[in-house]
Amino acid sequence: MARKAEAVQQPTSVATSDNARYLEAGFTILEMVCVIAIIAILASLALPRLPHATSRVRLESYAFETAALLKADRTAAIRRHHQIATVVDAKARSVRSGATGRSIQLPDDITLDALLAAYCDGYPANSRIAFFPTGMSCGGAITLRRPGNGYEIRVNWLTGGIEIVPLRRA
């Protein structure tokens, strides 16, 4: 008698148990997108709390801006034929033009030091650099400094000339 053949179940997937482990290794694109989104949210919360330090380029920009303000006051004194004074307030970290009233306010991480004359034209200088109609001035030096970098703006008393000198790192 003939025996009936047993029914053999055909596999529905070509993956065997060894291949199944290989195919399931790694991350899906959805998992990667979720992780990146979480990192982006955490970064957006943390970055505004980090202190913003003044860069070397920005410090150099403040030095050039201060020198330009001093040169404008000197030019105004020569052109108007009367004395004009630039006020330097080291405690408040500001420099204010006597000709235009324009002021430069430095950020908290920049130190402003000023070496100014005690008397100018026979009167107390009171934290000022005075420019005379002849082009001369009381002279002085303004130092802008942050950790690792600095610039000195020098005002020559005889010529009234202004120069910016980078400071060497200590």
Q: DSSP labels for the chain?
A: -PPPPPP-PPPS-S--HHHHHHHH-S--HHHHHHHHHHHHHHHHHHGGGS--PPPHHHHHHHHHHHHHHHHHHHHHHHHHTS-EEEEEETTTTEEE-TTT--EEE--TTSEEEEEE-SEETTEE-SSEEEE-TTS-B--EEEEEEETTEEEEEEE-TTT--EEEEEPPP-
- Are residues 43 and 119 located together in one domain of the fold? no
Domain count, the chain: 2
Whether 77 and 83 have beta carbons less than 8 Å apart is answered as yes
10 located within any domain:
no
pLDDT of residue 2: 61
- Are residues 45 and 61 located together in one domain of the fold? no
Instruction: Kindly give the pairing relationship between strand 149-155 and strand 162-166.
Output: antiparallel
Give bridge partners of residue 114 from the DSSP assignment: 142
User: What is the rounded CA–CA span in Å between residue 100 and residue 67?
Assistant: 15
Whether 23 and 15 have beta carbons less than 8 Å apart is answered as yes
pLDDT in tens, the chain (170 residues): 566 667 667 666 555 555 555 566 677 888 899 999 999 998 888 777 666 778 889 999 999 999 999 999 999 999 999 999 999 999 999 999 999 999 999 998 999 999 999 998 888 988 999 999 999 999 999 999 998 899 999 999 999 999 999 998 65
- Are residues 69 and 36 located together in one domain of the fold? no
12 located within any domain:
no
123: containing domain: 56-166
Q: What is the pLDDT of residues 42-88, one digit of tens each?
A: 888 877 766 677 888 999 999 999 999 999 999 999 999 999 999 99
Whether 160 and 136 have beta carbons less than 8 Å apart is answered as yes
68 located within any domain:
yes
Q: Of 32, 49, 66, which closes a domain?
A: 49
- Are residues 88 and 111 located together in one domain of the fold? yes
28 located within any domain:
yes
Q: Count other Cβ atoms within 10 Å, centred on residue 4.
A: 6
